[in-house]
Amino acid sequence: GLWPVARYLGLLLGELPRLQDTPEGYGPRGKDFISHVTFPPEILDAWRQLREDGQLAGALQARTLG
């Protein structure tokens, strides 16, 4: 691949919060770039489990700008 695995995983983990309809997201209640997206509970649970994984959480933090 073009990126290290940690970078790829960090990008993937960062997408769900942007797609959510929250003040920080891209939905109508946020930046209003996209329409509301409803996520099945299973998707949100899986994302939370990934976020709690130490190695993946480190990859996501390393991706943060600033």
Which residue type sits at 56? L
Rounded distance between C-alpha atoms, residue 35 and residue 32, angstroms: 7
- Give the model confidence (pLDDT) of 7-36 as tens digits: 777 777 788 889 989 999 999 999 999 999
User: What are the residue ranges spanned by the domains of the chain?
Assistant: 5-63
CATH 3.40.50.9100 fits 5-63, yes or no: no
Contacts of 15 (CB under 8 A, 6+ apart): none
CA-to-CA dists, residue 66 to 1, 41, 51, 63, angstroms: 26, 31, 20, 9
DSSP 31: T
The reported pLDDT for the residue numbered 38 is: 93
